[in-house]
Amino acid sequence: MPCWRKSGLVEVNTLLVLGSKPDPALPPAASYDAVACANGSGYSAVRYGLQDPVYTVVTSLIASGIESGKQSLKALEGLNTGTLYFLRRRERRSTRLGRLIHNLQNYRKKRFYRIQPFYLKRILRSLHYEYKQFVALRPVQYDSLVEELCERDPEILAQLAKKRPSTGLITLVLGIDQQAYQRFILSGFSFELTHPYARNPEISERGTEVSEHATTDIMVIRYLSRRLGNIFTTESTVHERAGVPLLPEIT
């Protein structure tokens, strides 16, 4: 088996990016240096004895009251991470007045505060979830990061206009942007709505397991894999659909 942590005489830092797929195919522990998690995938990290994540990325919807969010929060109970990135929700209204009206409507329905950083912090305290740093990212920050890493490719931009990437994909691009890692391994990615801790209720609501972000994620991962040449995966689905080089899983 090749050693993925060294390249010649140069030490290479490798980040394992862990998604929410049940029963993730995990690489050998010696093949990576740190773990990053998306939403509730910290549950899998603990279940399989992985190190605590250096950072975790969560969507604002995790505390909004939707059932899938409740599942993910429950899975995080008692866990911890280094930095916790909170992705602020994208505004659906195109004008300032439209956004204001939309926010007032949600406030009256007692939903607006649920997608704010302070509310998630309160919920996480009650769940004894610990983090060293909390960073709230505005949509323009994480959206522009994806666009820039994809060199504003016209086909990618057209797809991003239709559907933005998933939290798992943002977890990867934040790792790339930090420039602390030279290689990345994607595990627990399936382009589906499945969770490792319970059946995601959105599957029944939508009548499909396929994530709405699947097409976008596949296009972006394929582009980044070809451009950077340092992204690998242990998941056959990611290899087959996004063309990412495949690593062997633990046997």
Side-chain-side CA neighbours of residue 72 (13 Å): 30
Q: Is the pLDDT of residue 200 over 90?
A: no
Of 77-81, 118-122, 209-213, where does the model show the most confidence?
77-81
The more confidently predicted of residues 193 and 7 is 193
Q: Is the pLDDT of residue 116 over 70?
A: yes
- Mean pLDDT, all residues of the chain: 87
Q: What is the pTM of this model?
A: 0.86
Question: What is the model's pLDDT at position 201?
Answer: 75
Cα dihedral sign, 219-180-27-55: negative
Q: Is the pLDDT of residue 71 over 60?
A: yes
CA distances from 54 to 24, 34, 82, 110, 165 (A): 19, 7, 5, 33, 21
Q: Is the pLDDT of residue 124 over 90?
A: yes
Domains defined for the chain, CATH in brackets: 6-242 (3.90.1480)
